[in-house]
């Protein structure tokens, strides 16, 4: 029985859109998690992504019966982390079981003792085929283009002051219009 995402949150669990990530961190993990968070915040992109994962990951298996496995969101997060950080399954195993921000992104609260076994991660993350990754990439690129369109509506034009060594002299120049 595989679900896209658990609908009922547990005590101590934080919604993915409300996870606090350090914006000043220069490490690669928070950058990847911010990207995942942005995908999650956009309902249209999230729906496309979940529909794709639901139809492509083990389509021949009945998802309504059987034991509960990893959610599709958890498989997606683990797959993205493994590919973006270019890590092996041993490091992925350590990160998903010990790194607090990643555990929050996977949907585990502070009081959730759930841990992932090495073989479980390997079996589920290998479900990402190159064809599936190409389809996911198309969804992510479309979402990125929409995000850029929303941010730069109307363009950025204006004047700025460029001060020289002598503070009395100011040269006002027209900024480049980014439309």
Q: What does pTM read for this prediction?
A: 0.74
Instruction: Indicate whether 4 belongs to any domain.
Output: no
Q: Is residue 170 part of a domain?
A: no
49 within a domain of the structure (yes/no) = yes
Strand, helix or coil for residue 101? helix
Domain range enclosing 118: 16-153
Task: Kindly report, residue by residue over 40-68, the tens digit of the pLDDT.
Answer: 888 899 899 989 988 888 677 666 665 56
Domain presence at residue 164: no
In a domain, 114, yes or no: yes
Question: Using a CB cutoff of 8 Å and minimum separation of 24, what contacts does 98-102 make?
Answer: 99/29, 101/19, 101/21, 101/29, 101/30, 101/33, 102/29, 102/33, 102/77
The pLDDT value recorded for residue 118 is 93
Query: How many domains does the structure of the chain reveal?
Result: 1
DSSP state, residue 9: P
């Amino acid at each position: 029985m595989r679900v896209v995402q658990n609908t009922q949150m547990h005590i101590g669990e934080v919604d993915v859109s409300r996870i606090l990530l350090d914006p000043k961190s220069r490490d690669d993990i928070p950058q990847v998690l911010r990207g995942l968070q942005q995908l999650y915040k956009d309902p249209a992109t999230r729906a496309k992504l979940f529909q794709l994962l639901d139809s492509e990951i083990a389509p021949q298996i009945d998802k309504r019966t059987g034991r509960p496995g990893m959610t599709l969101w958890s498989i997606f997060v683990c797959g993205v982390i493994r590919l973006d950080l270019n890590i092996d399954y041993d490091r992925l195993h350590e990160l998903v079981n010990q790194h607090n921000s990643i555990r929050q992104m996977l949907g585990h609260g502070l009081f959730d003792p759930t841990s992932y076994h090495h073989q479980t991660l390997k079996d589920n993350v290998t479900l990402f085929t190159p064809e599936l990754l190409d389809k996911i990439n198309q969804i992510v690129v479309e979402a990125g283009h929409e995000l850029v369109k929303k941010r730069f509506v109307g363009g950025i034009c204006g004047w700025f002051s460029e001060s020289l060594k002598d503070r009395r002299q100011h040269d006002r120049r027209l900024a480049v219009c980014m439309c």
